[in-house]
């Protein structure tokens, strides 16, 4: 586990009591700490950092978000990838380099996840961003 995640002591934080509190707790943790940027970030890692046991996390993600853990994390990574592409300094980077910065450790996984959550390929999205075309694909995250 990478050390850039700020220390999040689950013992000092009030435990969520219902599914909405669990959702908010997990979403706040992921948004603030961005652990998904670590390649190989796992359900075990999320459990360790939040203090929520693995069965509870897995069930919550499956039932509340309608996806498995990998898709859940990759959705955050795709969003971060798009955020990076909105910054002109990343337009000169390769798609693979940006994907790695977003936490993907495999080109195949990145392309599959991006296409699933963005409804287009990464290269099509990049061309739209570079041309500053305001398509629904670009507008969704701008």
Judge if 89 and 53 occupy the same domain.
no
Q: Is residue 4 part of a domain?
A: no
On the CB side of 86, how many CA atoms lie within 13 Å of its CA? 13
Q: Per-residue pLDDT tens for 19-42? A: 888 899 999 999 999 999 999 999
Determine the pLDDT at residue 130: 79
Return all residues near 95 (Cβ < 8 A) that are at least 6 apart: 110, 122, 123, 126
* 94 backbone dihedrals φ, ψ, rounded to 5°: -75, 155
Judge if 21 and 65 occupy the same domain.
yes
Helices then strands, counting H and E runs in the chain, come out as 8, 0
Judge if 31 and 54 occupy the same domain.
yes
Q: Is residue 2 part of a domain?
A: no
- Predicted model pTM: 0.82
Residue 35 or 51, more confident = 35
Judge if 66 and 82 occupy the same domain.
no
Range(s) of the domain holding residue 61: 16-70
Q: Is residue 117 part of a domain?
A: yes
Number of domains in the chain: 2
Q: Give residue for tokens 């002109």.
A: 88
Determine the pLDDT at residue 66: 96
Determine the pLDDT at residue 2: 41
Residue 10 has pLDDT above 70, yes or no: no
Q: Is residue 59 part of a domain?
A: yes
3-state helix, strand, coil in the chain (%, to 5): 65, 0, 35
Q: Is residue 1 part of a domain?
A: no
Determine the pLDDT at residue 6: 46
């Amino acid at each position: 586990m990478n050390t850039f995640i700020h220390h999040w002591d689950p013992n000092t934080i009030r435990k969520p009591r219902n599914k909405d509190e669990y959702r908010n707790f997990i979403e706040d943790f992921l948004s603030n700490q961005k652990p998904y940027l670590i390649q190989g970030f796992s359900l075990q890692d999320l459990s360790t950092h939040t203090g929520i046991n693995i069965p509870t996390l897995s069930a919550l993600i499956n039932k509340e978000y309608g996806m498995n853990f990998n898709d859940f994390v990759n959705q955050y990574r795709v969003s971060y990838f798009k955020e990076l592409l909105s910054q002109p300094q990343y337009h000169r980077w390769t798609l693979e380099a940006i994907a790695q910065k977003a936490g993907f450790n495999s080109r195949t996984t990145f392309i599959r996840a991006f296409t699933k959550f963005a409804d287009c390929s990464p290269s099509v999205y990049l061309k739209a961003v570079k041309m500053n075309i305001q398509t629904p694909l670009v507008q969704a995250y701008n």
